[in-house]
Amino acid sequence: MSLFRNARFVRSVHDLRDLPPADGVEVAFAGRSNAGKSSAINTLADHTRLAFVSKTPGRTQLINFFELPAGGTLVDLPGYGYAKVPDSVRRHWEKTLATYLQTRPSLAGLVLVMDARHPLAPRDRMMLEWFGPTGRPVHALLTKADKLSRSAALQTLRQVREELAAYDPQYSAQLFSSLKSTGVEEAEAVIGRWLGHAPETDIKKPQAKGESPGLKTP
Ligand code: GDP
């Protein structure tokens, strides 16, 4: 069962005073515009085009909240660093994002979506600087991994893991591709853990008495 399938759009927030009550557990997705954040969220949501809500005109500069059926909230943060926006707008967003990341009590972890070909750009590092003092975990989703050869992708993964460890040894990273739907289970395991969901285990049905292989009934 996909973690985000049947997620329900709750609200868009422009100002911090409009945030929903922090009474649940949240996981936020951040990334530079065009990094592949919407595609990654939609892939994790099993292609239900969840994050395209966040891409509708008028919502791109908003923090979008989605309630997950199994409990918890997915928070889609506005993409940063691409469009040329007036300084005053950029400053408002930087302040809003920084404050949200630093002070939101229900925020359990940050998924940092980065194009595997251009990881840890200055603005990605800014997110890490803002979020670091909370002591909560970061998971880097290195997406568009299909655009790299296997060896180049693994080399990038190694480098990113090393650089993240310098921020905090508990930070993690993985390769991801929305195009090929790879890395979904790994991402779900991390995010599910943050949200307090029990890991999906391959629980076999208990065998009926006398069916145990190798146990012959006399
Ligand atoms: P966002 O701005 O971060 O939400 O980025 P989008 O999800 O809209 O993706 C930006 C562009 O990258 C789009 O043209 C996507 O089709 C493409 N893209 C996103 N993820 C992948 C991926 O995993 N592989 C490839 N090859 N392209 C991708």
37 Cβ closer than 6 Å to some ligand 1 atom: yes
| Distance from the alpha carbon of residue 35 to the mean position of ligand 1, in angstroms | 6
Q: Is 39 in the pocket of ligand 1 (CB under 6 A)?
A: yes
CA distance 73 to 26: 5
Q: Structure tokens of 34?
A: 């065009």
- Give the atom of ligand 1 at the shortest distance from the alpha carbon of 33: 2
Tell me how far the alpha carbon of residue 144 lies from the centroid of ligand 1, in angstroms: 7
CATH topology of domain 8-195: Rossmann fold (3.40.50)
pLDDT of 215 over the 90 cut = no
As a dihedral over the C-alpha atoms of residue 64, residue 70, residue 72, residue 74, rounded to 10 degrees, the angle is -30
**Averaged pLDDT, 197-215:** 49
Q: Which atom of ligand 1 is nearest to the CA of 176?
A: 23
> Ligand 1: does its nearest atom lie under 6 Å from the Cβ of 54?
no
Residue 157 has pLDDT above 70, yes or no: yes
Cβ neighbourhood burial of 33 (10 Å; 0-12, 13-18, 19+): middle
Mean pLDDT over all residues of the chain?
A: 87
Residue 36 Cα to ligand 1 midpoint, Å, equals 4
- Give the pLDDT band of residue 47 (cuts 50, 70, 90): low
Mean pLDDT value of segment 98-107: 96
Per mean pLDDT, which range of 83-87, 105-109, 134-138 is the poorest?
Answer: 83-87
The pLDDT of residue 216: 36
Residue 39 vs residues 92, 109, 113, 115, 218: alpha-carbon distances, Å: 26, 20, 10, 12, 58
